[in-house]
A = this chain, B = another copy of it.
């Protein structure tokens, strides 16, 4: 019987509440599908700053490295907004991505059938369904490049460096092509190759790797055009692969287009099988502790963990099916619609366990 070690980084705001529900669901899945899970907890973000002075204590990195996977709630909040840049909760997030080598961020933007009315885009454009997988490079580019202050003509200035090496692009391209092969075999590589040198290297490299995947239909799109096309006709996309910063912007845009932002999960993967899984929404400090947060994105992050890191695809499918079923009649306040039952964070967790 497989035994997995999972580190929980509950984080700040609603983080603890939503992670607790996801753990309940994972426990239930482990009974049903015959594996065991051992949990450990560690600090990241604001709670880590409060307890240790830094957003990413060494102990957290060590624990995560030893685990089969990591489940993260959410980090940040106004309480830590006045910390200096390198000591903010966000720095912890970037730090853990770097420390664990989580170079591939998978961010599905999907519409859940029971929530299809929630998209801000007109029904005739959305056509009732959407299923885009955005593959964002997560440990390179301008988020990890050199930066600093300088002077230009005697005036203060600041700079950041967008940089990509061929191996960095190769490995993220392979992740995207592999995913496309398992989906509709369509990949859009997004860059700004008409201006940026790093984008030209990106495009050359993706083109070369595409030879290994003759079945995948590859096209290229400039980032500005992609930002438009996601609004004009999101259904044209299957898998999108792009740099760290473009992926940040486009995946947030795409998740809003799905209208299901409180429902979306994400996976951050390394070269090894282990990964970090988290909802894409934030720590929502305004509703923290009220017990009304929506735990479904975190529960669906557990499903992604089972699929990508723990080799339990059946358990993953079962959780996703349970969520879709529960959604038909039950809603946390953020996704409430007339005619459904309004439930708390904990009730939602219980309902998913029952449906499992």
Interface residues on A, range: 35 or more
Partner of A161, one of B160, B193, B227, B250: B160
- Please determine whether B194 and A85 come into contact, CB atoms closer than 8 angstroms: yes
Report the minimum CB–CB distance from A154 to chain B (whole Å): 10
C-alpha gap A152/B125 in the complex (Å): 44
- Please determine whether B227 and A196 come into contact, CB atoms closer than 8 angstroms: no
Counting every copy of the chain, the complex holds: 2
What is the 8 Å Cβ interface bit string for chain A, positions 244-275, against chain B (1 contact, 0 not)?
Answer: 01101111110111000100000000000000
Partner of A156, one of B150, B160, B201, B261: B201
Q: Does A32 sit at the interface, judged by CB under 8 A?
A: no
Partner of A125, one of B120, B194, B227, B253: B120
Partner of A253, one of B85, B160, B200, B228: B228
Partner of A157, one of B166, B248, B257: B166
C-alpha gap A160/B147 in the complex (Å): 12
Partner of A224, one of B150, B152, B224, B252: B252
- Please determine whether A158 and B224 come into contact, CB atoms closer than 8 angstroms: no
C-alpha gap A130/B112 in the complex (Å): 29
Q: Does A131 sit at the interface, judged by CB under 8 A?
A: no
With both beta carbons as reference points, the residue of chain B lying nearest to A261 in the complex is identified as: B228
Q: Does A4 sit at the interface, judged by CB under 8 A?
A: no
What is the 8 Å Cβ interface bit string for chain A, positions 301-323, against chain B (1 contact, 0 not)?
Answer: 00000000000000000000000
Partner of A231, one of B125, B245, B257: B257
C-alpha gap A202/B160 in the complex (Å): 12
Residue from A149, A228, A232, A250 whose CB has the most chain B CB atoms within 10 Å = A228
Report the minimum CB–CB distance from A61 to chain B (whole Å): 20
Report the minimum CB–CB distance from A92 to chain B (whole Å): 12
- Please determine whether B232 and A249 come into contact, CB atoms closer than 8 angstroms: no
Partner of A142, one of B122, B162, B225: B162
Report the minimum CB–CB distance from A254 to chain B (whole Å): 9
With a cutoff of 8 Å between Cβ atoms, the chain B residues found around residue A331 in the complex are: none
Q: Does A336 sit at the interface, judged by CB under 8 A?
A: no
Chain A 103-132 interface residues, beta-carbon cutoff 8 Å to B: 120-122, 125
Partner of A158, one of B159, B201, B231: B201
C-alpha gap A195/B224 in the complex (Å): 21
With a cutoff of 8 Å between Cβ atoms, the chain B residues found around residue A88 in the complex are: 194
Residue from A192, A195, A230 whose CB has the most chain B CB atoms within 10 Å = A195
With a cutoff of 8 Å between Cβ atoms, the chain B residues found around residue A232 in the complex are: 120, 256
- Could you give 16 example pairs across A and B, Cβ below 8 Å? A85-B193, A85-B194, A120-B125, A120-B231, A120-B232, A153-B165, A155-B167, A157-B165, A157-B201, A160-B162, A223-B249, A227-B252, A227-B256, A228-B252, A231-B253, A231-B256
Known: A88-B194, A227-B256. 19 other contacts (CB 8 A): A120-B232, A121-B121, A121-B231, A142-B162, A142-B196, A147-B197, A148-B197, A155-B166, A156-B165, A157-B164, A158-B198, A159-B161, A160-B163, A160-B198, A228-B252, A228-B255, A229-B256, A231-B253, A231-B257
